[in-house]
Structure 1
Amino acid sequence: MKITVPDIGDFQDIAVIEVLVQPGDTVAVETSLLTLESDKATMEVPSPVAGRIAAVHVKAGDKVSMGSHIVDLEDAATSSSETKSPVGESVVPVSPPPAASTSGEVMEVRVPDIGDFNDVAIIEVLVQPGDAIVAEAPLLTLESDKATMEVPAPFAGIVQEVLVKTGIKINMGDLIARVTVTDAPIIALQVAEEPPISPAPSGPVPELRNAPLPPVVEPAISSKPHASPSVRRFARELSADLSKIKGSGPRGRILKSDVQAYVKAVLKSGDESSGRGLPKVPPIDFSQFGDIELHPLSRIRQLSSSYLHRNWVVAPHVTQFIEADITDMEDFRQSLAEEAKKEGYRMTPLAFFIRAAVMALKQFPHFNASLHEDEKCLVYKKYFNIGVAVDTPSGLLVPVLRNADKKGLADIARELAEISARAREGKIKAEEMQGGCFTISSLGGIGGLFFTPILNLPEVAILGVSRAATRPHWDGKAFVPRLMLPLSLSYDHRVIDGADGARFIMYYSELLSDIRRLAL
């Protein structure tokens, strides 16, 4: 039977980010075959019928649309009947280990054919020695410049040795682990009349190695949560612990919506670990004072509300203020304005602010870092991606200008105009708002003097820019008119102390005041 992509709504050329089956797998009705991701949503393609996978016609990184041929399915009598657990849940049979392996044998696991990819970076190791795994359980997450993919286990067993680590690059055929094969199903143990037990941390599980296997209670799972690479990345960005999230997808798979619901629940719960252990504002019936109207917040504003509140309570903010003399910078910018206009773009002050930010981050590398999740070390970044807050009708968006250190003022100005326009039109993609190192929030076009910008975690600093104004400035002999720009630098006091905050903003101010430095 030829299986094609069903009606997935108004989507065309959607990227396949994960292939969940391979030839020989037995699938039930609604078993997920692929994970797709557009700029608006992540979705899975389920199998419309039960059977055995005969061939897979797509791979991670391909793009598909409604009607695209994805797999061939052959009818299998054994695949149409599903095993039922005592609680009534269906269990998809696990593919047996390769014929060449026997129970108790230690087998090498190598990187399979991952398509036209070489030197692919490992961004996550999902198992460790002692873990009990089933066939197809994810072992590693890899990321190239085109796709994110997982390396599955070819058979069930106990992990004896892991030979790779996060950050290294691997190719097809590289040895990644050694696993003791088991020819019996690895199962999750249950004790009668005992309440459910939280998943234990990954590590050795001697009971599974030495004890006789009791009757099957539920399908095996690896010690790591069942989620796609994109969902794992999304959870990391929100500092959400996947082990605490119950998946609503097929076979308990954690979906993006599950992560969002979990984060929202934590923020509303008043959990002290989230920094929300504060008394709630009592509800008020405002209609008792006069006529009212209810207007729902946009999706962006709802999400921003949770993120900004989390960032504010999690990171201790300090804000440093200064005024930069940009008289010479503005004269130089004006001299470039006419030429830029002829070439079809505007040379805005923000291009200079971005250029100066890159130079300041190079001078103070710990501002171009993020606090590691264990809060015991810093992750220093060797790239310079600058986020720019854009005011849109739906709320605040922060598109990211990537590799700003490799671009001149004209290139920055052109790209800035292009991504800002798409953000205001609602056409910006989610990935274009990820990977920032430092954010600039400019209110110069509106007005005001100073303000306290809220950090865009996991970044450790953000710069607020207000409207420049001509003020009298003492040059040592007399007061002269100079164009002064108010700057507000907020930073995470867990990472940056006050002295370094002052040094950074002083250096940044000097860069804007002496434009010759920007050419260095």
Structure 2
Amino acid sequence: MAVSVTLPALGESVTEGTVTRWLKAEGERVEADEPLLEVSTDKVDTEIPAPSAGVLTSIKVAEDETVEVGAELAVIDDGGAAPAEAPAPAAEPAPAAQPEPAPAPAAEAPAPAAPAPAAAAPAGGAEGTDVVLPALGESVTEGTVTRWLKEVGDSVEADEPLLEVSTDKVDTEIPAPTAGTLLEILVAEDETAEVGAKLAVIGAAGAAPAAAPAPAAPAPEPAKEAPAPQAPSAPAPQAATPEPVAPEPAPAAPAPAPAPAPAPAPAPAPAAAAPAAPAAPSIPAPSAPEAEGAYVTPLVRKLAAENGVDLATVKGTGVGGRIRKQDVVAAAEAAKAAAQVQASAPAAAAPKAAPQAVSPLRGQTVKMPRMRKVIGDNMMKALHGQAQLTSVVEVDVTKIMRLRAQAKEAFAQREGVKLSPMPFFVKAAVQALKAHPAINARINEDDNTITYFDVENVGIAVDAEKGLMTPVIKGAGDLNIAGIAKKTAELAGKVRSSKITPDEMSGATFTISNTGSRGALFDTIIVPPNQVAILGIGATVKRPVVINHPELGETIAVRDMTYVALSYDHRLVDGADAARYLTAVKEILEAGEFEVDLGL
């Protein structure tokens, strides 16, 4: 029974999506819920799972093509016999071209040899498989080829990264739609093509033998009379006895058969060369490119992040060097074993600073990635379109850190998520927003009006592998500490596993960035578009501070201190407004009245 794979709705405002990568090729078997392809919209990249187990019999939408929600992407069947039957009818036309009834049996003799080329025909195809530029977002109409990862004549595997394409919103890799040989590159590097344009041509799985038919260019001449394979045999029997001539085409037919045999031999040769690369594992530079060229699924990225595995150091054992889940698990186990060995080392070695790995980019000049350029353009636009400046206050969060230490174990057991300091800052920020509407607003430049929001939708900056992303906690002002902690963990997990949806990335009225998570004391963060302020949380450090003790008076004590910075658009928010808001946040944090939320 054939099952149709359709493009699901990926968000309230998303009407179409672009197929960026097929993770399976036609003829491959898939399991139910196994990732089948990757789809990109103007807001999010996500994987589409297989609706049922079976064989992928047909791919309806090629990579880099854009289709509307509900469109058919592929067909899955629970059997793979259908493609096998295709060559059989292809062999029947052979007897149809018999010139005389008498030689008919003689024509049947070569018929068994004919299936061999017939089988090769569907495998390769006369023109090969087109690689086209898919739709990479609702408003994206063109893309620039930034780098070809393969050259003409190279063998490629299905789903292996073939080239890199950059648009005004995202940089992405375009995978090979099928296994075979890269026959032709139609768009050079740094050239721009429209969505749907043909970028290259790939011969199918047997593309290597396709080089053999190339020299057999005279084949098209007999094709003028009838079917290409039998045109040469038809005139031959008419010129002389049919039976002796029949053996002559027979050797010609097997000729392509031996040609494929040597062709596969070179194919494994590059594969054998790949293992040769790890011969120098001690040099970090060679291993990095190897990791860069291999495609990594979101599931593997998430698993690597959870286990602290650096994917650049992992050698993939999958097709095309792909890093699989088993590779990450093995690397994690090896790291644990190494950690145990280090733990047994003398404690005196602990104070020594860890050696810093030398980056392979040191001393190089490389082309600026398209994504970095887009981010830079957006930041410059934001700075030039707003009157931005930053105010900073110092906050004593000693009470919050003590409450967290007291409640974190019970909180984790009760709520199922870790209790980090971040939910306390979010809670204080949204409470203060309700009393200071100018901070939670938007300037409508088209009609010169101001919208003061009646809801606190807080964007949370998440440091992901693809770059900084900002999912949104909707209605954060109505959540308690547990609700904020759960939502933050859920959204951050979705971002890092590429499962975030467009709706979860839009609608922010205010943003919070935890710049202190990487050790920064504070930062002059840039206000995002369509907002008037963003709050930055610095690193929490212990240091001596003068405090006013109720019994001892002014005294010096070691406290947990942090800086809280507010960047704002001076067109709407004055310095006094910013100071009043920061003071309100400071008072809420230092009061630390979160016992009820924590169940203490």
Bin for the TM-score computed over the shorter chain: 0.3 to 0.5
Bigger helix share: 2
Q: Which has the larger radius of gyration?
A: 2
Relative to the length of structure 1, the TM-score reads 0.47
